């Protein structure tokens, strides 16, 4: 990795650590060591410490005095807030679709959907295509730039979505939902597009309940809960 003396490289460390949290490479509730993270990234502790401060501000990392720093567990309340914001924006964008859709964006979305069906597609590759698909739909309505604001607010939601992808045997069910939404839009059936979109976006809630039933340690249950040190650090 290149040296981290400049602002850009420090931001690279932050983005890398953020992606490690969002992709579940750093699991919800995992203990964080500045020394270990710095060593694994090939940098000094300073940019790591600065990055963790930013992630604390985003609610993705928690620091407990005399105990340590931890990846924040997935907070269902924050998931619900982010999903509410996302649904409001994406549903509103459907209302702004022009009568004549941009053919270049339509073909781009068709190509995206075709790639989603590839049998050897990895979950992170599918997640990236999922993000591009939804941003592409917003571009059809002329609101593609609003996706940046949505993306910045959905850290807990994105982790819940990834947990849902891991929970399902295949992302095919989500690809099929994307196809239904797309075909309804290009076919001019806005009521069906709205219904399919709402069902698709709210699927994360049922995923959370299934996952929480067998892996409750991944989720925040009480804002006052914190890890304690015994022979090892555990969450109460």
Task: Walk along the chain (236 residues) in steps of 10 and give the mean pLDDT of each run.
Answer: 52 95 95 94 93 94 91 94 96 95 98 94 95 97 93 92 90 96 97 97 94 93 64 51
Instruction: Report the pLDDT value the prediction gives residue 8, as an integer from 0 to 100.
Output: 44
Task: Give the span between the Cα atoms of 187 and 106, in whole angstroms.
Answer: 12
Position 159 scores a pLDDT of 96
Query: Is 196 within 8 Å of 181 (Cβ atoms)?
Result: yes
To the nearest 10 degrees (0 to 180), the angle between helices 155-167 and 76-95 is 90
CB atoms inside a 10 Å sphere around CB 99: 5
Predicted pLDDT at 5: 46
Q: Give dist(CA 222, CA 171) in Å, integer.
A: 31
- For each of the domains in the chain, give its residue range(s) and CATH number, in order of start: 7-73+220-235 (1.10.10.10), 76-214 (1.20.120.530)
Report pTM: 0.86
């Amino acid at each position: 990795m290149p040296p981290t003396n400049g602002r850009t490289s420090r931001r690279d460390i932050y983005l890398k650590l953020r992606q490690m949290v969002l992709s579940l490479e750093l699991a919800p509730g995992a203990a964080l060591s500045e020394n270990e993270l710095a060593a694994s990234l090939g940098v000094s502790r300073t940019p790591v410490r600065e990055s963790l401060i930013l992630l604390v501000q985003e609610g993705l990392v928690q620091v407990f005095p005399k105990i340590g720093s931890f990846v924040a567990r997935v907070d269902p309340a924050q998931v619900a807030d982010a999903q509410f914001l996302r649904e409001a924006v994406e549903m509103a964008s459907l209302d702004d679709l022009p009568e004549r859709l941009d053919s270049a964006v339509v073909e781009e979305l068709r190509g995206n959907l075709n790639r989603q069906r590839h049998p050897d597609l990895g979950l992170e590759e599918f997640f990236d295509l999922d993000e591009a698909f939804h941003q592409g739909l917003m571009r059809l309505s002329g609101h593609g730039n609003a996706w940046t604001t949505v993306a910045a607010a959905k850290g807990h939601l994105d982790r819940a979505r990834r947990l849902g992808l891991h929970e399902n045997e295949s992302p095919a069910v989500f690809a099929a939902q994307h196809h239904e939404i797309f075909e309804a839009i290009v076919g001019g059936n806005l009521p069906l597009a709205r219904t399919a979109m709402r069902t698709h976006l709210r699927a994360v809630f049922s995923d959370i309940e299934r996952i929480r039933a067998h892996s409750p340690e991944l989720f925040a249950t009480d804002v006052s809960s914190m890890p304690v040190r015994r022979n090892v650090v555990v969450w109460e």
